[in-house]
Structure 1
């Protein structure tokens, strides 16, 4: 589940009359810097090599990837938590479905911009990863992905649940769970398989595509599971439950299982352990 977005607030801008500023400036030639210092930025995360039919989703394909996730999470309690709200009781299921798809399109595109989106089996399964040290909280990503529209598309209660409860809870839980490893971990934000694609090993391929790289770099992997059946599946991939958190607005209690996979030493991988 995505956790890195903050509500978009208006930004005030001050415009300066460049001509008058230049006239009043006292510029001396011998004080003009002779070189520019480029600020060091964190390097982009390494993209794992493609194997087992896994490939990276392009920006032109984001709607196909989002459609897969929308179908996979159609009845998910967390996905519905922001849509099934008292102030949208008058909405039809068609309207709610359209918003459900829209949210996942924004999230998917944001991950294409700043994270890693992979698919297998002709969009039968899709994974959204956030690499170590990366996030989607900058204004450019929020603007380009369309996430800013949630301030207008979600109802008042939906916004309270998403921005005031959900995102802070996930942020604080990840920080508490991982501690100093928070910025070293690969974060599996979404993993979804269409009903027609289940039982084909797609989830394993999408998870192991990244965990192999994480093992080689000595990095943990982190996820939140919103389906009670999924922790047993993730345990097969090396994840372990650390805690359970709950969304609790509106008299509901929607659980999320927090799971972490510690890196496996390369020697063990070679021995099949």
Structure 2
């Protein structure tokens, strides 16, 4: 299904007894893709409806400062540099904004299924993403993404999950900007390399 804020793909499995009233299926994985030229900028109505005030209040000014004054400009600069070096228009690329798989279903190929589904939609456009763990970085390398730049945000303030921390635990959270520029259709199976 396609929303104003992105294209959402989900993986479902039959629900077990007792997993929700009348539920025939349950979601065990999903991905949010932003199409070329699309940004994660909800309308004022959507912003009010999602009521982010609790999150904003709990994050505090230092977290908001990191997000808007350090993180976003740094990522934008990295993407501009990476796409510029390749002679590719970044606004003509897909953005894998988020992907998640239920921990009970990890290791069963669902992430691969979601990524390959996205590749099929994106072909032949480039794709970019930010990996935030070594495991996700390695997974995306396996799918042919290239590392453009690695960052560590909030050093001295937060731990690797972005939660407030002090001392040795305040290592900052990692962020690896990655792109996949060459997508080509595979003959026959309908997949992509």
> Deviation digits for residues 128-183 of structure 1, max 9, x if unmatched?
11111011335434334434664434212222222222222222222222235211
Instruction: Determine which structure has greater relative contact order: mean sequence separation of CA pairs < 8 Å that are 6+ residues apart, divided by chain length.
Output: 1
> Deviation digits for residues 198-241 of structure 1, max 9, x if unmatched?
111111111111111222xx210111101111222112322122
Give runs of ≥4 in structure 1 deviating > 3 Å: 141-153
Q: What SS does the aligned partner of 2:108 have?
A: coil
Say yes or no: does 1:254 pair with 2:158.
no
Judged with a 3 Å threshold, the aligned counterparts in structure 2 of structure 1 residues 143 and 175 are, in CA distance, closer, same or farther, namely: farther
Q: What SS does the aligned partner of 1:123 have?
A: strand
Query: What is the Cα deviation at residue 195 of structure 1?
Result: 1.2
The aligned length equals: 160
Partners of 1:195 and 1:174 lie apart in 2 by: 30
Query: What is the Cα deviation at residue 126 of structure 1?
Result: 1.5
> Deviation digits for residues 17-36 of structure 1, max 9, x if unmatched?
xxxxxxxxxxxxxxxxxxxx
> Deviation digits for residues 49-72 of structure 1, max 9, x if unmatched?
xxxxxxx48xxxxxxxxxxxxxxx
Partners of 2:188 and 2:89 lie apart in 1 by: 27
Output the aligned Cα RMSD.
Answer: 2.5
Alignment counterpart, residue 200 of structure 1, candidates 102, 108, 112: 108
Q: Which runs of 5+ in 1 are unaligned?
A: 1-55, 58-111
**Which residue of structure 2 lines up, in the alignment, with residue 222 of structure 1?**
128
Q: Kindly indicate which of the two structures has a greater share of residues assigned to helix.
A: 1
Q: What SS does the aligned partner of 2:182 have?
A: coil
* Residues 179-198 of structure 1: pairs in structure 2 closer than 5 A: 179=84, 180-198=88-106
Q: TM-score, normalised by structure 1?
A: 0.52
Q: What SS does the aligned partner of 1:188 have?
A: strand
Q: What SS does the aligned partner of 1:257 have?
A: strand
Structure having the higher Rg? 1
Q: Kindly indicate which of the two structures has a greater share of residues assigned to strand.
A: 2
Partners of 2:141 and 2:179 lie apart in 1 by: 10
Q: Which runs of 5+ in 2 are unaligned?
A: 13-25, 158-169
